[in-house]
A and B are shown apart, each in its own frame.
Chain A
Amino acid sequence: MSILVDQQTRLLVQGIAAPEGLTYVEHMIAAGSPIVAGVTFGQGGTWCGSMPVFDTVREAVQATDANAAVICVRGSEAAEAIFEAADARLTLIVCVPAEVPVRDMVLVKAHLKGTPVRLIGPGSSGVCSPGKCNVGIIPGYIVRSGSVGIVSRSGSLAYEVTWLLTQAGLGQSTVLSIGGGMIVGSGFAEILAMFEDDPATEEVVLIGEIGGQEEEMAARFVADRMTKPVVALITGQTAPPGRQMGHAAAVIEELAGTAQHKTEMLQKAGVRVARYADELPTLLEERM
């Protein structure tokens, strides 16, 4: 098994005919994503390669039995796409664009609360269960099937760590990034809970960063509920306070949100925290 995506995933691309969408789609096809349909309003009835394009998500789902959506529209239009996908009963939505307005995300969170819809992102580079399904823009060659779950705020740092693990012979059950925004659809703790319940995952790598509270919530979850070993990396150890480091949430406010504080919280919960990425494979092997 794995989490979120597997052989049963039938993917629909929202924004397939938009200029941004096309770039994503080329990449996803190269990486082996199971795309069954695309949606761009006004382009219904056309084809994008071998994939039929529909005007609405509802139509696409009826015609193709798609069960997951990847959103490739601009950030300014992403909330609309999320609402449309949720309304068509898609239970997994991966939002790749990062620049989604906070107010839109507040409404998205309020609307999805209590529904079975699982939103990953905004700002997620994707979700990949090696050998089964790769949704989003994670390079296909860096993953390898195995038992390590990887969850990261950052996309490209997830690639780095995945590649290090793969080279060390440590395969992955599922790799994903949750995004670096102030509001994300699914947080670390929610993903840890899924890895905890997944029989194919034996240990978890958590890649956090300064700012926000995702790492603190993850530490609480690990202390309370997690039985599988977790190792972590927290970046931004050398970031200056008060400056936003690219991701909207990556700001050290006074003494809170520092890499040190997050590291201590995780360590108290029994998580081994690496000083840098190259240490992660060794820490994992020691845990096995």
Chain B
Amino acid sequence: MRLHEYQAKRILSQFGVPVPRGQVATSVSEVRQIAERLGTRVVLKAQVLTGGRGRGGGIRLANDVSEAERIASQMFGMEVNGYIASKLLVDEAVEIEQEVYLAITVNGLGYGYHSPGQPAIVASARGGFEISDLAQGAPEEAYVREIDPLLGLREYQARELAYNVGLGREQSQQFASAAMGLWNAFWAEDATLVEANPLVVCPNGELVSLNARMTIDDDALFRHPELSDLRDESQEAATERLARRHGIHYVRLGGKVGCLSNGAGLAMATMDLLRLHGVRAGSFIDIGIGAQTAKVIVGLRLARNGSASAVLVNIFGGLTRCDEVARGILAAYEELDLSIPLVVRLEGTNKEAGMALLAQNPGRHGQARLYTAEPLADAVQQVAAVMQANGGQ
């Protein structure tokens, strides 16, 4: 779960990472009050859960209170990369002498042949450094130190990094203290990524983190009910919310065939195979292992969502039972208005029972067209044929 910048800054400052003075606002009048209180030039920052805000017009400078009000009225409700800004962070504007990158993540690099699994702290003297730059090996401008989780980050590691990125002696101590704060927040809050980027040196010599990013491990949220409350559901599409609440992995895609599978690998392989047959998937839906009827129904609701003109269900059940999936499909016909063609491929545990259930119910549902096919290659060809009959994509 990715946090908003203002949420990340609040948490990081509790762990001793210096951040600019500022506050989040939900209305123009709140922006005015905050700007008046700060009494400086301010930066208005759209709180949207996406990168590239600056390029998208989501970060703007205001010289005085009335300008802040004017800009804020343009920014509330604006769309950045498809995300709506309903909150603005109002921060004091800071002069920048020098800027560096600092982050802590897991698996920055894989060494040798051993599967990675250690946290690492990453620093760079290059502004605009991206953590993903590490994915293809360490570029020259990145300095990476692995952190022994049993020891935690040590101050000497942070001081070394400070020298690596060219900070002076005075700033190095501040940098080390910010790095320790970053590590403590990372570990205590079950983060998978914390970023102070850019971490800047101001003209008075003070170090401050102008931007902050924090991603919390979804699988650890059970330990952090207070963090679960920070989830901003307005940043999720209704379909994404529905999927998350039912433990379904869902990604909306550009095509017209809803694509439902058990398991992420199988779902991706299904999408890839569709594309080879000239058909683009409209959704990626992974119902996970051992799904029951109710989850299958929600999966199908997501699959037929939007502009889908056919649905492909591809199941290879281990713990997932094909008869349970078949029951879900039949129940979905009762509960949903499933008027588009459905191609079903069932393999694995209780396949025969599942196929028998589907065979007992042919054409019972008006316009509904239910096709069963196997193996997967034939199911995909069936989908391609259905799409062609529909007049292509």
Contacts and interface: CB of A to CB of B under 8 A. Distances in A.
Contacts of B222: 76
B135 A253 contact: yes
Interface stretch (A41-49, A51-59, A271-279): A271-279
Contacts of A239: 251, 268, 271, 284
A23 to B, nearest CB: 6
Contacts of A180: 264-265
A117 interface: no
A132 interface: no
Contacts of A235: 265, 268-269, 272
B377 interface: yes
B262 interface: yes
B307 interface: no
A246 B275 contact: no
A100 interface: yes
B192 A182 contact: yes
Interface stretch (B21-29, B55-63, B106-114): B106-114
B266 A139 contact: no
Nearest to B287: A246
Interface of B: 106-107, 109-110, 112-119, 130-133, 135-136, 148-150, 187, 190, 192, 217-220, 222-223, 249, 251, 253, 261-269, 271-276, 280-281, 284, 286, 289-290, 316-320, 347-349, 375-377
Contacts of A278: 376-377
A245 B284 CA distance: 8
Nearest to B134: A256
A209 interface: yes
B271, B272, B281, B318, most chain A CB atoms within 10 A: B318
Interface of A: 23-24, 27, 75-76, 99-107, 109-110, 125-126, 137-139, 142, 152-160, 163-164, 180, 182-190, 193, 207, 209-210, 212-214, 216-217, 220-221, 233, 235-240, 243-248, 250, 253-257, 261, 275-278
A277 B376 contact: yes
Given A103-B187, A139-B317, A246-B284, A238 B272 contact: yes
Given A107-B149, A159-B318, A246-B284, A183 B107 contact: yes
Nearest to A207: B265
B83 to A, nearest CB: 13
B265 A153 contact: yes
For the complex of A and B, the 7 pairs showing the least CB-CB separation, nearest first, are: A154-B265, A246-B264, A187-B115, A156-B263, A256-B135, A253-B132, A157-B265
A236 B133 CA distance: 20
A277 B261 CA distance: 15
A277 to B, nearest CB: 6
A63 B386 CA distance: 59
Given A110-B149, A238-B272, A246-B267, A213 B114 contact: no
A189 B114 contact: yes
